[in-house]
């Protein structure tokens, strides 16, 4: 059942039939009583069958739609709910940063008259919401798509990568991608492989709390992202998000190393098995490493294709080995990333199945569900048996990054690639996804 301005069921049906939109003046008649006001969107909490009206006195009222309820449209919303500001004046001498919207809550505004949320992704919107941006860069902005990030697929990664490639070739000084936070880590990894050694920084940014909330991280994150895109000495795909409790500390994470580590905290994003590239505080951008691809350095390679016939499988006690065979057969998989235990193990009952799969050319890569550290399958008998069966230990690569990389590697080869070709590309460090040094996990809180 489709949502209608956030309404569902009978309420959605009544509103659709009456042809009313959010902001329209309506009359709702229920059980002999008549309610008169402006229709509000039902965009967050609450019963989606309760029609919400803003009354003349400014208060809202909810009317639960029941059989017999009538909705009458009186007048259409007389004015746009939000008057767009005039386009910002370009400042000569400032760098040009292109902002691409893909969805998410970083730059949305709530219309307080109707309760609706709309994406604010024209350059004018951005500058009017976040005026500091105009002092950093001349911004152009576009909404490429409006998708909740959990609905993004590898085809969307390709689409975003293609647009970034166009912008880079047009000579922008940096690109900012506004993105929902749920799968931002996956997209960052995907763009890292698709846009290798780009000439300018490609900066993903999101907000854990939308810009209408007082605790929002939208402004600080977006300003840091625009600054990174325009000035940072590194030109890699990075994620720019709130670092820790303090409001003025933002981390810039390498795209292949970053994971959303908390469902709701503003400082949810962390670099795993790696330091962030830089930190931005009140005094500007401070580099945390010298090991990066530099702005305007040569070597740009654009390869935006992903093959979706790959899967991430998290092992658990009692998992049946035939799970792998079933998935490979039924979904036509060409590769599997296992998220094993500890140093990279699954039950030894998986050895014959893995031997069979790798023998038939299906790549099987091993990562760890421990989150921190690197796999080492040489320590125990079982690990060695799994390796002999063809499972490939993927060092300290994150499981999520390993999956994205596998989709990208399979996309490189037409038809059925040789196992050894896939393996050797998977083991080659392409954009910082494999590291040399084992780092500890952060201290317990």
Question: Among residue numbers 117 through 176, which ones bind a second copy (CB under 8 A)?
Answer: 148-154, 156-157
Q: Does 78 bind a second copy (CB under 8 A)?
A: no
Distance separating alpha carbons of residues 147 and 111, to the nearest angstrom: 20
| Minimal distance, residue 273 CB to a second copy, in Å | 10
Q: By C-beta, is 149 or 192 nearer to a second copy? A: 149
Q: By C-beta, is 48 or 88 nearer to a second copy? A: 48
Q: Catalytic: which of 200, 260, 405, 423? A: 260
Coil, strand or helix: which one is 130? Answer: coil
Residue of 190, 205, 179, 184 whose CA lies nearest to 103: 179
| Minimal distance, residue 173 CB to a second copy, in Å | 29
Task: Enumerate residues 333-362 that contact a second copy by CB under 8 A.
Answer: 339-349
The answer to whether residue 385 is catalytic is no
Distance separating alpha carbons of residues 164 and 385, to the nearest angstrom: 44
Residues near 342 by beta carbon (within 8 Å), at least 6 away in sequence: 368, 370
The answer to whether residue 105 is catalytic is yes
| Minimal distance, residue 170 CB to a second copy, in Å | 28
Q: By C-beta, is 320 or 428 nearer to a second copy? A: 320
Task: Enumerate residues 173-212 that contact a second copy by CB under 8 A.
Answer: 181-183, 186-187
| Minimal distance, residue 206 CB to a second copy, in Å | 10
Q: Which x/- pattern, by CB under 8 A, does the window 244-283 give for a second copy?
A: x------x--------xxxxxx-xx-xx----x-------
Task: Enumerate residues 101-120 that contact a second copy by CB under 8 A.
Answer: none
The answer to whether residue 323 is catalytic is no
Q: By C-beta, is 137 or 375 nearer to a second copy? A: 375
Q: By C-beta, is 34 or 323 nearer to a second copy? A: 323
Task: Enumerate residues 216-245 that contact a second copy by CB under 8 A.
Answer: 243-244
Q: By C-beta, is 45 or 67 nearer to a second copy? A: 45
Coil, strand or helix: which one is 146? Answer: coil
Q: Catalytic: which of 102, 181, 187, 228? A: 181
HSE of 444, CA atoms in CB hemisphere, 13 A: 0
Tokens for 124?
């004018």
Q: Which x/- pattern, by CB under 8 A, does the window 7-46 give for a second copy?
A: -------------------------------------xx-
Distance separating alpha carbons of residues 176 and 183, to the nearest angstrom: 16
Q: Does 313 bind a second copy (CB under 8 A)?
A: yes
Task: Enumerate residues 373-402 that contact a second copy by CB under 8 A.
Answer: 373-376, 378-382, 384-385, 400
Name the packing angle between helices 154-169 and 184-194 (round to 10°): 50
Cα dist from 273 to 13, 221, 346, 397, whole Å: 51, 23, 22, 8
- CB-CB contact of 334 with 307 (8 Å): yes
Rg (CA), the chain: 25
Return left, alpha or beta for 73; rule: phi > 0 is left, psi -120 to 50 is alpha, else beta.
Answer: beta
Q: Which x/- pattern, by CB under 8 A, does the window 404-443 give for a second copy?
A: ---x------------------------------xxxxxx
Distance separating alpha carbons of residues 443 and 445, to the nearest angstrom: 6
Total binding residues toward a second copy, as defined by CB under 8 A:
88
Residue of 90, 89, 126 whose CA lies nearest to 226: 126
Backbone angles phi and psi of 334, in degrees to 5 = -110, -5
Q: According to CB under 8 A, which one of 108, 122, 220, 368 is a site residue for a second copy?
A: 368
Q: By C-beta, is 81 or 382 nearer to a second copy? A: 382
According to DSSP, the residues that pair with 278 across neighbouring strands are 252, 287
Distance separating alpha carbons of residues 213 and 210, to the nearest angstrom: 6
- Length of the chain counted residue by residue: 445
Q: By C-beta, is 90 or 373 nearer to a second copy? A: 373
Distance separating alpha carbons of residues 194 and 30, to the nearest angstrom: 56
Say which residue the tokens 């505080």 belong to.
281
Q: Catalytic: which of 105, 187, 358, 367? A: 105
The answer to whether residue 421 is catalytic is no
| Minimal distance, residue 326 CB to a second copy, in Å | 5
- The catalytic site residues sit at 105, 181-182, 260
């Amino acid at each position: 059942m489709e949502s209608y301005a956030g309404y569902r069921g009978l309420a959605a049906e009544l509103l659709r039939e009456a042809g009313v939109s959010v902001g329209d003046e309506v009359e709702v008649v229920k059980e002999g009583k008549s309610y008169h006001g402006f229709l509000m969107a039902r965009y967050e909490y609450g019963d989606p069958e309760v029609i919400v009206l803003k009354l003349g006195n400014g208060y809202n009222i909810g009317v639960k739609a029941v059989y017999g309820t009538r909705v009458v449209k009186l007048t259409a919303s007389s004015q746009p709910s939000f008057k767009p500001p005039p386009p910002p004046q370009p400042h000569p001498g400032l760098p040009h940063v292109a902002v691409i919207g893909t969805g998410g809550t970083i730059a949305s505004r709530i219309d307080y008259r109707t309760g609706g949320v709309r994406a604010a992704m024209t350059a004018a919107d951005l500058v009017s919401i976040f005026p500091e941006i105009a002092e950093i860069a001349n911004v152009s902005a576009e909404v490429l798509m409006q998708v909740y990030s959990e609905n993004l697929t590898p085809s969307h990664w390709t689409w975003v990568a293609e647009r970034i490639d166009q912008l880079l070739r047009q000579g922008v000084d940096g690109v900012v991608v506004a993105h929902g936070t749920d799968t931002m880590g996956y997209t960052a990894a995907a763009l890292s492989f698709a846009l290798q050694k780009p000439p300018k920084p490609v900066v993903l940014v999101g907000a854990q709390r939308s810009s209408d909330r007082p605790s929002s991280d939208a402004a600080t994150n977006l300003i840091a992202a625009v600054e990174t895109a325009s000035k940072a000495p590194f030109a890699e795909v990075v994620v720019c998000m709130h670092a820790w409790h303090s409001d003025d500390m933002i981390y810039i994470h390498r795209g292949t190393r970053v994971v959303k580590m908390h469902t709701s905290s503003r400082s949810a994003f962390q670099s795993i098995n790696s330091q962030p590239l830089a930190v931005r505080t009140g005094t500007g951008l401070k580099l945390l490493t010298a090991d990066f691809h530099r702005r305007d350095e040569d070597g740009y390679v654009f390869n935006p294709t992903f093959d979706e016939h790959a899967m991430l499988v998290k092992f658990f006690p009692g998992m049946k080995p035939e799970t792998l065979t079933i998935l490979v057969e039924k979904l036509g998989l060409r590769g599997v990333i296992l998220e094993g235990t500890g140093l990279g193990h699954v039950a030894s009952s998986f050895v014959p199945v893995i031997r069979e799969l790798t023998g038939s050319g299906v790549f099987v890569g091993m990562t760890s569900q421990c989150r921190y550290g690197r796999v080492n399958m040489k320590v125990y008998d079982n690990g060695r048996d799994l390796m002999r069966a063809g499972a490939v230990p993927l060092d300290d690569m994150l499981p999520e990054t390993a999956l994205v990389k596998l989709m990208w590697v399979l996309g490189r080869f037409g038809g059925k690639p040789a196992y050894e070709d896939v393996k050797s590309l998977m083991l080659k460090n392409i954009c910082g996804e494999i590291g040399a040094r084992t780092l500890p996990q952060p201290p317990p809180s």
